[in-house]
Amino acid sequence: MKEQFYSYIKDLQNQITKALEKVDGKASFREDLWNRTEGGGGQSRIIENGEVIEKGGVNISAVHGPLPESMQAYFKVGNVDFFACGLSLVIHPKNPMAPTVHGNWRYFEMYNENSECIDQWFGGGLDLTPYYLFEEDAKHFHLQCKKACDAHDSHFYTEFKDKCDGYFHNSHRGEARGVGGLFFDYLKADKKYSIEDRYDFTTEVGNAFLEAYIPILEKRKSMSYTPAQRTWQEIRRGRYVEFNLVHDKGTLFGLKTNGRIESILMSLPPTVQWSYDHQPDSDSDESKLLEVLKNPKSWV
């Protein structure tokens, strides 16, 4: 299973980077290969200063070795070995009318002292973070999420949409990071689903990414905007940074397993502002976005 899924994310990385380069039309991804001392490594692909994409990364990794003590406590296990692989992406467009997007699809195994696999699961999802709310964009994104879920279980979309709203939430701000999408973790084999079923679902969601995001990016990439709207984008990017550094479990796992810092923090946008107690005007487009972020809604 680990070889099958790693092969899948390598192909998906190629598909996504090719599609994003086509939309940008100017910049190309540069590949950065890296190795982890304890075992494994990855392929980071970074794009910067493009015509459309200000900064983005589409990274894959496969790491293995003894599970660090800090993570043993987290998983409530003793001395075990682990294997983890996944694809993680974040795209920050230049235009404030175009939303930031995040996606992650991953697989994890744990082994006992006899190198026998004692646990395995899938996780992942995708979510959208607009700076200006276009409801048709949120509906399109969620519709693609729902289609991927409905191909496997009619209950999946509601379950994983709710988990996404709960997870990508800046509790210290009382607001969501964006308009959500899907989030799932610890998808294991059970009485209803085999591990192959979990693979099929996770890859279905991964395959939905391009249709969920590229049409939105194409529609918004050339819209006009003002310096004030750019400032708002940078202030909202600050909230994105806050979530990733304060709450995100993937960032925590990477840092505690001696992951590669540059790849872990590639999700951070290039220009950000933290204005003291910034409050948008009432009834403005900015305040309309905040209303939705404080009260997540059903999009489809």
pLDDT digits (tens, 9 = 90+) for 187-232: 999 999 999 999 999 999 999 999 999 999 999 999 999 999 999 9
Cα separation, 110 vs 20, whole angstroms: 34
Cα separation, 47 vs 251, whole angstroms: 20
Q: Which residues are within 8 A (CB) of 88 and not within 5 positions of it... i.e. 6 or more apart? A: 57, 59, 60, 61, 103, 104, 106, 250, 267
* Alpha carbon separation from 135 to 37, 235, 244 (Å, rounded): 46, 21, 25
pLDDT digits (tens, 9 = 90+) for 23-57: 999 999 999 999 988 899 999 999 999 999 999 99
Q: Which residues are within 8 A (CB) of 95 and not within 5 positions of it... i.e. 6 or more apart? A: 52, 220, 221, 222, 223, 225
pLDDT beyond 90 at 121 = yes
* Alpha carbon separation from 79 to 72, 113, 227, 257, 259 (Å, rounded): 7, 8, 54, 14, 19
Here the tokens at position 240 are 């994105």
pLDDT beyond 90 at 76 = no
CA 194, 196, 199, 203 torsion-angle sign: negative
Here the tokens at position 208 are 């939905």
The string over 8-46, giving b where at least 16 C-beta atoms fall within 10 Å of a residue's C-beta and e elsewhere, is bbeebbeebbeebbebbeebebeebeeebeeebbbbbbb
CA angle 257, 9, 92 (to 5 degrees): 80
**In this structure, CATH architecture of domain 2-294:** 3-Layer(aba) Sandwich (3.40)
* Alpha carbon separation from 207 to 8, 15, 45 (Å, rounded): 10, 9, 19
**Sheet architecture: strand order including 117-129:** 30-35, 40-48, 53-66, 81-93, 100-111, 117-129, 180-187
The H or E element that residue 200 is part of is helix 195-207
Residue 178 sits at φ, ψ, to 5 deg, of -160, -150
Q: Which residues are within 8 A (CB) of 57 and not within 5 positions of it... i.e. 6 or more apart? A: 44, 45, 46, 47, 88, 89, 90, 263, 266, 267
Here the tokens at position 169 are 């939430």
Here the tokens at position 27 are 């910049």
CA 165 to chain centre: 13
Show which residues are catalytic.
102
The H or E element that residue 75 is part of is helix 69-75
Q: How many CA atoms lie within 13 A of 194 on its CB side?
A: 4
Give me the residue spans of the domains in the chain: 2-294
- What percentage of the chain has pLDDT greater than the value 90? 87
The whole-number average pLDDT for the span 277-288 is 94
The larger pLDDT score, comparing residue 134 to residue 78, is at 134
* pTM of the full structure: 0.95
Here the tokens at position 290 are 């905040």
The whole-number average pLDDT for the span 145-168 is 98
Here the tokens at position 231 are 């400032």
